[in-house]
Structure 1
Amino acid sequence: MTKLRIGIAGISGRMGHLLVEEVAAAGAELSGGTARHGAEGVTVFPDADALFAASDVVIDFTNASAAEANAAAAARVGKPFILGTSGLSPAQEAAVEAAAKVVPLVYSSNFAPAATVLFALIEKFAAALPPEQFDAEIVEMHHRQKVDAPSGTAIMMGQAVARGRGKTLAEVGMESGRDGHTGPRATGPIGFAALRGGQVVGEHTLLFAGRSEHVSLTHRSFDRRVYATGAVQAAFWAARQQPGLYSMRQVMGIA
């Protein structure tokens, strides 16, 4: 049986090294990658088009600025694309959506299996706990090098709350950066607070706060490897799919 050839954008980075190990552990073939500073012991391609041409699927955990170009390369070459970068601008998200019309594309800010299950549970909680009775607040913490806030996972939590309440996140509204005399909390919007420090991989807590009770849902990542494992799982899944924009919920078969 022919092994699945998986390419890695940013193969010399922190996530790139973990992906190399997880590709081997899954029994796939590493086709190579792209790298800004070179990488030892692996094939480094000069550009994204060459990487996609040599691969059956490409995984990208680089940065938002590269996501648009890599999505376009996936569409040009016609190969599935796994994107795990957060902080995309509306224009970059539009480029991802355009590529998904041509190739299978799995896009998620969090490839951890337990986090994926949590998003589904959040929708159920939000549907049962109306905003008139329960305020939704999201607190997240990451390492000091993270450049975007709120995190992609926090936004996915907010989107899950909004879906559970029959709206989009834009319709519900986001509140962040409270400071000074803000007045009473408005009913409906979701609160976001972002903490940065140390080397925290990722911690996210959603709090539904009612007048007489509250419930909190928390996900903690202790090792970035969990994201690499999930992305490789998504690569095997995407290789069998038709063009479209998918999430980890579909990869895991969660309704």
Structure 2
Amino acid sequence: MRVAVIGASGRMGKNLITAVNNADGVTLGAAILKPASSLVGADAGEIAGVGKLGVAAVASLVDCVNDFDVLIDFTTPALTLSNAAFCAEHHKAIVVGTTGLTDHEKAELNEAAKRSPVVFAPNMSVGVNLTLKLLATAAEILGDDYDVEIVEAHHRHKVDSPSGTALRMGEVVAEALGRDLKECAVYGREGQTGARTQKEIGFETIRAGDVVGEHSVWFATEGERIEIVHKASSRMTFAKGAVRAASWLAGKPAGMYDMQDVLNLK
């Protein structure tokens, strides 16, 4: 599989190039930058700090349309949808790690998946996706007797809140409990809020320093508390998972997939 990385000069982009370079079964086919970037034309491997790879960074997907089979995209919702439409039109697969998509934007991504294979997950980490499986199991066993609270922390530059991962954790727990997260979610608390209701799922957000990503889900009742925690210390965790998803897409038909499919956790 020839992989294209968009946003190649960013923190995530550099990790993705490194992960592709270190992985078996995939090769870097293209690296895309902003059109105005001074690094257009530079070797992608040198941009990422892994040495020359013989792949010159380009300014758009049009410039490398014949050089890749799957695109890895951790950009912004609007750009991701544009890229997904491009991949669908040109029969390319895409791995989407972009967070902050609205329901409408997710519906647009699903339309693209009707024409080409898409892996979309708010978190590409293998550990996080195993955690989602554990959360579903815990919620099914513990039921409504336990209060559920989700605490997440990320670096100061993260623009969406709560994180896509925290929201997915809430969705998984809500589904296991037979609830609709849109109806039971409570985002932060302030002032005289009254006693906690039995079926609400609370979210607390921390933004500070250079925290890569931490998520803690509490199941608490009188007398005990269970915490299921995942902590990421490097973006390489997400990059490796995304590359694993890209490799998994080889030969897959058009459709919407997630990391639970990639890891055979369903």
Q: Which residue of 2 aligns with 1:155?
A: 167
Contact 2:174 2:181 in 1 (8 A): yes
Asked if 1:80 corresponds to 2:77, the answer is no
* Structural RMSD (CA): 1.4
Gap runs ≥5 in structure 2:
45-55
Q: Distance in 1 between matches of 2:193 and 2:60?
A: 49
Q: Distance in 1 between matches of 2:65 and 2:201?
A: 39
Asked if 1:18 corresponds to 2:15, the answer is yes
Q: Which residue of 1 aligns with 2:148?
A: 136
Runs of 4+ in 1 over 3 A off after TM superposition: 49-53
Q: CA offsets per residue over residues 41-68 of structure 1, 9 Å max, x none?
A: 1323332344444211110011222111
Contact 1:71 1:95 in 2 (8 A): no
- May I ask how many residue pairs the two structures share in their alignment? 250
Contact 1:52 1:73 in 2 (8 A): no
Q: Distance in 1 between matches of 2:116 and 2:16?
A: 22
Q: CA offsets per residue over residues 80-111 of structure 1, 9 Å max, x none?
A: 10000111122221111111111110011111
Q: Distance in 1 between matches of 2:7 and 2:64?
A: 11
Q: Which residue of 1 aligns with 2:48?
A: none
Give me the TM-score of the superposition, normalised by structure 1: 0.94
Gap runs ≥5 in structure 1:
none
Asked if 1:68 corresponds to 2:65, the answer is no
Among the aligned pairs, what percent are the same residue? 37
Q: Which residue of 2 aligns with 1:41?
A: 43
- Tell me how far 1:189 sits from its aligned partner: 1.8
- Tell me how far 1:71 sits from its aligned partner: 1.1
Q: CA offsets per residue over residues 180-219 of structure 1, 9 Å max, x none?
A: 0001112212100000001000000000111221101000
Shift in CA distance, 125/243, structure 1 to aligned 2, threshold 3 Å: same
Q: Distance in 2 between matches of 1:137 and 1:52?
A: 45
Q: Which residue of 2 aligns with 1:178?
A: 189
Amino acid at match of 1:84: G
Moved more, 41-50 or 73-82: 41-50
Asked if 1:94 corresponds to 2:107, the answer is yes
Q: Distance in 1 between matches of 2:181 and 2:257?
A: 19
Amino acid at match of 2:30: G
- Tell me how far 1:162 sits from its aligned partner: 1.1
- Tell me how far 1:165 sits from its aligned partner: 1.2
Shift in CA distance, 20/188, structure 1 to aligned 2, threshold 3 Å: same
Q: Which residue of 2 aligns with 1:249?
A: 260
Moved more, 24-33 or 157-166: 24-33
